[in-house]
Each structure stands twice: as C-alpha cells, then as structure tokens.
Amino acid sequence: MSTYGRIISFAKPYHRYFPRYVVFAFLSIIFGLVNLALLKPLFQVIFETETEEELLKMADTTGLSFGKDYIEALFYQKFIAFREANGPNSALIYVSIVIGISALFSNLFTYISNVIMGYMRADLIEKLRNKVFNNTSKLHLGFFAGERKGDIMSRMTNDVQEIEVTLVSSIKVFFREPATIIIYLTFLFITSVQLTLFTLVFFPIMGFIISEIVKKLKKKAILSQESLGRIVNLMDEVFGGMRVIKAFNAQKYIGGLFEKETETYKKINVSMARKNELASPISQFLGISVVATLLVVGGNLVLNNETDLDGASLLVYIIVFSQILTPAKGISQSFSNIQRGMASAERIFKLIDEEPKIQDKPNAQIKSSFDTNIAFKEVGFVYEKEPVLSDINVTVNKGQTIALVGSSGAGKSTLADLVPRFYDTTLGEISIDGIPIKDIEINSLRNLMGVVTQESILFNDSVARNIAFAMPNAKEEDIIKAAKIANAHEFIVNLEGGYNASVGERGGKLSGGQRQRISIARAIMKNPPILILDEATSALDTESEKLVQEALTNLMKNRTSIVIAHRLSTIQHADLILVMDKGRIVERGNHEDLITQKGIYHKLINMQAV
Ligand code: ADP
C-alpha cells in the first residue's frame, strides 16, 4: 500500500465522513458560482446593456428542460417584473438580495464541509498517534538503546502534526479544488468555447513550472525533521542532566552544541523557504498575465463583434476565470505540503513497521509458578559485535540468593537482563523449571519476576499508584501493607496528601532513598517468586541505606533472588557469589570459599574495606 493510502486508511470509517463532505463541498462550490454568475444581471442593470426585447428572450422558459438555462430564465422573469413595477433601482436591490442569500448558503456549506473535515482529521490523528505509541512501546528494549529517544519523540509530535496539516490540504487537492475547477470550467465553456480553449493553453505551463519547484522540496523536508529530532534529543539530555552540566560548568559547551544544531536547522529551512515561497509569487504573476491577455483577446472579440458574448458576460467570464486561479494555486501549494507530509509519514511508518525482536513463539507456554530452578547453560551474548557474555553455566535453585559481583562493564546487568528476556541469549539457553524461557509466554514469564533497578523509575502520579503500578484494582490495604514492609509507610504518611501525594516528574519530589523504597514496595506488591535486584545503596546516606537495606531483606525473604551487588558487605550471606570479569564467571562459591581462594573477590573485599 502506498504511504498516502496508508495514512488515509486511518480515516476509517470513511463512510462517516467522505459522502457528507463531498455533498457539502459540492453545494458550496455551486452556490459560490451562482454568486459570481449573478454579477451579470447586476451589470445589465447598471450599464443598461440589454434591450427590453433581449431580456424577454432570456426570460423565456419554453422548450427548456430543468437546468442552468431554465433557472436563469426564471430569475429573469422575476427580474423583469421587479424592474417594470419599481424601476431599475429596485431591480438592483432584488439582484443584491439574491446574491446575499446565495453567498450565505455558499459559506454555510463551506463551513459544514470544513467541520466534517475537522472531525475526520482529529479522528485520524488520534488513531495514528495511539498506533505509533502502542507499537513503539511494544518494541524490545534494545530498540530504545540504539534509536535515539529524541528522534522517537520528534516523530510522535512533529511528524504527526506535519501529517495533520498535509492531510487536510490533500483532501482538498483530491476533491474540492479539482471539483471547483471542473465546475467553473464547465461554466466558462458554456459562456464561451472560443475563449476557454485559448485559456486552457496557459494552465499546463503554469502547472509545470510550479511542480518543478516543489519536486526539490521533499529531500530537504526529511533533513529538516531529522535535525529537529536531534534538537529535541539534545534538550532531553541537557534538561535531564542539568546537575552534571552545572557541576562541570558545561553550559557554554552545551550551548555551542545546541547552536550548531539550530544553525543547521536554520540553513535547511532557509533553503526550503526560498523554493517554497517562490511557488506563490510565480503563480500569482502568471495568473495575472493570463487574465491580462484574456482581457485583450476577449475585449477585442467583443469590440469587433466577433462573438455573441456581450460586455457584461465578458466581465463575468473574467471574474469566474480569475476565481479558478485560487484553487489552482491551492493545488500547487498542497503538492508541496504533501511532499513534506510524505516524508513525515515515511518516518512514522518506519516506527510502526518496526518488529519487536522479542516475541512469543506460536505455541508459547503460560507459566504461572516457579518450582525448582533457573538454569543457565552455555549462555553467550553479544549486543553488536563483541561478546559481552560467554560460557555462563549456573543453576539457581528455588529459594537461593545469588550475587553477581565484578568491575563495571563485566556483564552483570546484561546477565540479569536476560532472565526476563529484555534481551535474548545469543548462544546457549536459560530455562526455568526445565522449560527454555524462549518457549514461555513473555507476559507470564515476567509475571514471575520483580525487577528493582539501580535507578528507581517512578512515574508522575500518586505514591499509591506508583506502588500499585499497572494494577488499577489494587486494594488500599495491600498498598499500605507493601509500603510498611518496604519501610516506606512512615515517610509516606508524613507527605502532604499521604498516599495520594504526587511524586513529581520522575519522582523528583522524593529523596533517592524514598524513591528506592517505593520501588521496593512496588516489587513487594507484585509478590513475584523471583527477584532481580540491581543494588543501589552506594548513593544513599547511612540512615537511608539502613532503611533501604532492611526493606530489601524483607523483600527477598522466601524468594529466589539474583542480586547485582555493588557493596560486598551486603551479600556475605548469599548462597552463591559469582565473580564476573569480561563477560565470564571467573570465581564462584560462598563468601568463605572465595575469601580462602584469595582471588579477585578477596582483592575486591580488601579494596572496599579500605
Ligand atoms: P555491568 O553491569 O557489569 O557494569 P553491563 O552488563 O552493563 O556491565 O555491560 C557489559 C558490556 O556490555 C559493557 O562493555 C557495555 O559497554 C556493553 N553494553 C551494555 N549495554 C549495551 C548496549 N545497549 N549496547 C551495546 N553495548 C552495551
């Protein structure tokens, strides 16, 4: 399906919008034309161009079937009657009133058709944005690491908006403007075949010049959106990392990067504006030239009596003709909009079409309990090229706590990420109770696990909702119970608003230790048999650390835990400690075993003791 067709397909159900739009748009065009046509009798009154005899001829309905001429004749009957009864001044009022009424209808119908279009546009954008959001949030974690967050956000905001603008103009291009041109042209043909054939030569020339200009725009539009993506990305990074920027006095450096990017954006847009803005004056100039030529040619025909057109008809003809230029210009303008919108649409569809790399197998098993063990067999993993994990063999029995230690970059987090299938193993296999996790339905697999990350991720919502995260039906008493076990109840009730207090953006209204305890309460609330903990006690003060440590101990009671340990003092009671280095397990055993081995673990303990 073409990109354009795909965008339009979001406007479903069409039957609610298109027929109604077409009817009202059509009516508004017709009344608009009637309005212009009524100028003829107006001129006839003012300039007294027609003799009584000629007018009577025009008012004769005999032999006419229902159509333009018939309606015109009826109009003239009334017109003559008015003129005879009250003189030309009242005929003027009569014509003006009819013009007013028809203008009222024309604008009313324009309004209705535009409102219908407004509905359709809003509906379409809502569906499109939800679709991108839902598809994107289903993607594997790796996608968000590789693809830049700012770029994704820019696609969801700017590109969707771009499509919003494009779409409205494009439907006008495909219906309203061509319909206007066809109806007006028909009128012109009826008025004078000779003149109309002459003018038709000019249209293709104008069209060709303008289309050449817009063709060059599309490439620039893509560059412009990409540059905007980088700007958004930079802002996201900067405002998120303000503390570091200030501490390093890096405002100037960051400002430089920002200005460089905004300059790129400026250059692209200036160059786009140069071409884009050329379309309008060129078409305007060409349009007026055509009208001027027409005046000369038509005027000569009338003056030399070489046509049955009279002066009033020629004036109406030229006015109607000049009105065709507006939709013609509209079409050319819209084509450039469509080009821009297409670039946006392609970027959006790339996001929609991205397949999640981690998906359920067709016959994936639902696993609702954890009974015996988690086993890693010959597990290996690469992110891009270099192996990050190799030859991982270990069995974690139910109820055990295993700790992963090792220097930064050793592969501890990556190993922990493999268990809930945030990433899939490249080599070997992880199984739970003997079932490979790749055969287990992902949701049920993740339901068995609680993940507490080093950085507590809180959402801008109430404390209660952050604890009962994604559990809209959670009971208040359960939330309080979880908070108590997590050592969080006391500080929560002291907050203004208690459990209903907002935690602020990313939990910004709370301290680091408080955030930690809320995310521990969240894990307790979920009550999973398996826990994956990324210990983050290093950034806390002693008091907080004690509270968090206690909360963690409560959380780990009667569960199976995989702990990424940063503080070796906290894992001395672990059943098994795995020391990792460069993606391999280099030592294993409990605390005492490893101390006696006098290997890396021993060294690390000594280092931390200093
Ligand atoms: P640790 O948790 O022990 O500090 P990690 O598991 O975070 O170690 O990282 C192990 C290695 O994998 C490091 O060399 C790191 O640079 C690399 N790595 C981590 N995440 C990614 C990623 N998303 N893409 C590519 N490489 C990564």
- CATH code assigned at 336: 1.20.1560.10
Give the pLDDT confidence score for residue 537 in this predicted structure: 54
Mutational test site, ligand 1, from 141, 386, 414, 418, max ligand atoms within 8 Å of CB:
414
Q: How far is the CA of 407 from the centre of ligand 1 (A)?
A: 12
Q: Are residues 520 and 562 in the same domain?
A: yes
Domain-located, residue 360: no
Q: Are residues 544 and 410 in the same domain?
A: yes
Q: Are residues 324 and 223 in the same domain?
A: yes
Domain-located, residue 383: yes
Q: Are residues 328 and 447 in the same domain?
A: no
- The confidence band for 577, taking pLDDT boundaries of 50, 70 and 90, is very high
- CATH code assigned at 434: 3.40.50.300
Residue 388, ligand 1, Cβ within 6 A: yes
Please state, for a pLDDT cut of 70, what percent of the chain lies above it: 93
Domain-located, residue 523: yes
Domain end, chosen from 353, 383, 413, is at 353
> Mean pLDDT of all residues in the chain?
85
Domain range enclosing 434: 373-609
Dist. CA 539–CA 504, nearest whole Å: 20
Q: How far is the CA of 587 from the centre of ligand 1 (A)?
A: 20
CB 222 within 8 A of CB 256: no
Q: How far is the CA of 413 from the centre of ligand 1 (A)?
A: 7
Per-residue pLDDT tens for 34-64? 888 888 877 776 776 667 777 777 777 777 7
Q: Are residues 388 and 303 in the same domain?
A: no
Q: Are residues 58 and 18 in the same domain?
A: yes
Per-residue pLDDT tens for 182-227? 999 899 888 888 888 877 876 667 667 656 665 665 566 778 878 8
Residue 455: name the closest of 539, 529, 528, 388 by CA.
539
Q: Are residues 271 and 388 in the same domain?
A: no
- CA 192 to mean position of chain CA atoms: 50
Most confident range (mean pLDDT) of 12-16, 116-120, 289-293, 528-532 is: 528-532
- As a dihedral over the C-alpha atoms of residue 569, residue 572, residue 578, residue 579, rounded to 10 degrees, the angle is 40
Dist. CA 568–CA 65, nearest whole Å: 99
Residue 410, ligand 1, Cβ within 6 A: yes
Residue 384, ligand 1, Cβ within 6 A: yes
| Residue closest by Cα to atom 19 of ligand 1 | 414
Give the pLDDT confidence score for residue 211 in this predicted structure: 62
Domain-located, residue 276: yes
- The confidence band for 290, taking pLDDT boundaries of 50, 70 and 90, is confident
Domain-located, residue 142: yes
Give the pLDDT confidence score for residue 36 in this predicted structure: 86
Domain-located, residue 363: no
CB 141 within 8 A of CB 423: yes
Residue 408, ligand 1, Cβ within 6 A: yes
Domain-located, residue 361: no
Domain end, chosen from 353, 381, 415, is at 353
Please give the full DSSP string across 415-440, using - where no structure is assigned.
Answer: HHHHTTTSS--SEEEEEETTEEGGGB
Most confident range (mean pLDDT) of 109-113, 138-142, 300-304 is: 109-113
Q: Are residues 335 and 394 in the same domain?
A: no
